[in-house]
Chains A and B, each alone.
Chain A
Amino acid sequence: MDSAGLNAYLFVAAVLFVSGVVCMAVKRNAIGVLMGVELVLNGANLNLVAFSRYTTLGLDGQVFALFVIVLAAAEAAIALAIALNFYNNHLTIDVDRGNEMHG
């Protein structure tokens, strides 16, 4: 049995997840909110790979971690396009200023 077991990896993933959630909640910059989302997805990925290594999952966890990476790339691209549109309309990317929806 290794000294760095499943629980240690799960704890690191929990720290990543909580950092991402706090980053999403606290930051007023839209790009900062995006970085929080990336941290949350990485925590989930670390959980998937750790379970794939230490349990009978086999490769299933790694396959789903690859899906998560691809979807995170897609999400970053589309959210960045939305942030650029928001900046063109409001001349800022402060998310507190986005309380009105117009073209």
Chain B
Amino acid sequence: MNLESLLFSIFAILTCVSALAVVITQNIVRMAFWLVMSLGSVSALFFLLEADFLGATQLLIYVGGTVVLLVFGVMLTASGPYMQIKTSPAEMFLGGGVGGLLLLVLASSVVSLDWEGNVAERLGKESTVAIGPRQSVNQAGATGRPLGLAFLGLRTDQLDGNGAPLRPGYLLPFEIVSVHLLVVLIGAAYLARAKRRVEPSEDTV
């Protein structure tokens, strides 16, 4: 067993156990803690998959941003110091049963498929790919520059024989997503604005 498979098994078990703990625990603050554990382990899996920029982004945005936002939501909406909204055991049992069946279906289909054989077959068909996936740019794990160029519309990772890119860039989706993020943040600030400032003025009138 080499180091990579050892690290993979550690972080995979941590991811799965933390995700199950998010479902099982009833305290909302402990749920946030287990969510942090699960998302951090997923970012470690991203690093193992040689997606270093994506792993760093996952740590920054998810663990550092989204979960902090959720914890602020918990604090702003807690009516008591130890707020717990219980799920009834019957619902928990039903949800667990349906989830177990769904996991059975997904896992059996995932495990029974021969992905490596399919990939080899596709590699045989796509003979125009000069650089295989293992020898590509992201072999070294330095994906920051190719990702940035792909967002600007230039692909440097998969080239044909003449050096022209085989796959398209992503300039237009990048612009759409950036405008979308701006609109959503303005909308969120509008929705979550404090409305209680209006009430004292009504008393004076």
Contacts and interface: CB of A to CB of B under 8 A. Distances in A.
A and B found bound together = yes
Contact of B95 (A25, A35, A87): A25
A1 to B, nearest CB: 7
Interface in B101-130: 102-103, 106-107, 110-111, 113, 115-116, 119, 122-123, 126, 129
A85 to B, nearest CB: 6
B16 A12 contact: yes
Interface residues of A, number: 75
Given A32-B28, A58-B133, A82-B191, A73 B61 contact: yes
A15 to B, nearest CB: 5
Contact of B122 (A8, A11, A26, A56): A56
Q: Which of A10, A32, A73 has the most CB of B within 10 A?
A: A32
A32 to B, nearest CB: 6
A3 B48 CA distance: 13
Given A31-B73, A45-B42, A80-B70, A15 B9 contact: no
A18 B106 contact: yes
Q: Which of A32, A58, A85 has the most CB of B within 10 A?
A: A58
Interface in B25-80: 28, 31-32, 35, 38-39, 42, 45-46, 48-51, 53-54, 57-58, 61-62, 65-66, 69-70, 72-74, 76-77, 79
Contacts of A76: 66, 69-70
A22 B151 contact: no
B115 A54 contact: yes
Given A3-B1, A15-B15, A16-B16, 10 more contacts: A1-B116, A25-B98, A35-B70, A55-B133, A58-B158, A59-B138, A59-B155, A63-B151, A65-B54, A72-B62
Interface of A: 1-12, 14-23, 25-32, 34-36, 38-39, 42, 45-46, 49-50, 52-60, 62-63, 65-67, 69-74, 76-78, 80-85, 87-88, 91-94
